[in-house]
Amino acid sequence: MTAGTLIRSARKSRRLTQASLGRRTRLTQSHLSLIEGDRQNPSFDTVERALRGAGHRLVAVPTLRDDAAVIGSEIRADLAFGRPERALRRFIQLNDNLVSEHGAVRFALAIAEPESTGSKQWDAAIAALVAHHLTEEHLPVPEWATHPSRFLKRSWVFGVGPYTLAPESDRVPPAFRERRVLIDEDTLRSV
């Protein structure tokens, strides 16, 4: 995760603009913009100050796997550039990352709110994936994953391509069914 992604995710999770975060931290909006755009590599102190201004803390987690915020950002870029197949691969990678970790590390991979992907369907799918894996281990589900904006009003069949079929409802995991994201449970089996 880059410092820019980390700060942008923290800022957006608190619904702050760059200017308002700048006022809280005595960093200029233009400096924050450069950092968030990965055009400037900030010092550790600057990252820590920006995170505190957004009500977050930097915590080290014993894993090399990317979290939901990082992968959500990558999915956003893939969708913006018309690459839904790559977005699907990244979603599966997030699934595998969550499956591979347990307890506090699994929770840590899910706690930072991913910024919107620009697609309500994908936002709901990411929230469902996080809720599915955290609930599986009886871990708390972060507030962002249960926010009403992460639930769809109409069902969406998860997948890419003309041959994507809706699974039988009893094969859709509960966290996905609640959010009306129709995905077959076998899609979530790590290989």
Same domain, 47 and 123: no
34 lies in some domain:
yes
Domain extent, residue 75, equals: 68-188
Q: According to the model, what pLDDT value does residue 191 have?
A: 57
Please give the helix or strand (H or E) that residue 95 lies within, else none.
Answer: helix 84-100
Residues 9-20 pLDDT 10s = 889 888 899 999
φ, ψ at 157 (rounded to 5°): -85, 115
Q: According to the model, what pLDDT value does residue 161 have?
A: 78
9 lies in some domain:
yes
Same domain, 99 and 46: no
Q: Cβ distance 31 to 22 under 8 Å? A: yes
Q: According to the model, what pLDDT value does residue 6 have?
A: 86
d(CA 77, CA 84): 10
Same domain, 34 and 85: no
Same domain, 35 and 82: no
Tell whether the model's pLDDT for residue 4 goes beyond 80: yes
Residues 128-149 pLDDT 10s = 999 999 999 999 999 999 999 9
Q: Cβ distance 119 to 79 under 8 Å? A: yes
Residues 30-59 pLDDT 10s = 999 999 999 999 999 999 999 999 998 888
Count of domains for the chain: 2
62 lies in some domain:
no
Same domain, 26 and 81: no
Position 190 confidence tier, pLDDT thresholds 50, 70, 90: low
d(CA 144, CA 54): 15
Same domain, 126 and 180: yes
59 lies in some domain:
no
Q: According to the model, what pLDDT value does residue 120 have?
A: 97
d(CA 26, CA 46): 10
Same domain, 40 and 73: no
Same domain, 42 and 73: no
Q: What is the mean pLDDT of residues 154-174?
A: 91
Same domain, 81 and 132: yes
Q: Looking at residue 11, which CATH number applies to its domain?
A: 1.10.260.40
Position 154 confidence tier, pLDDT thresholds 50, 70, 90: very high
63 lies in some domain:
no
Work out the mean pLDDT of the chain and round it to a whole number.
93
Same domain, 155 and 98: yes
Question: What DSSP state is assigned to residue 39?
Answer: S
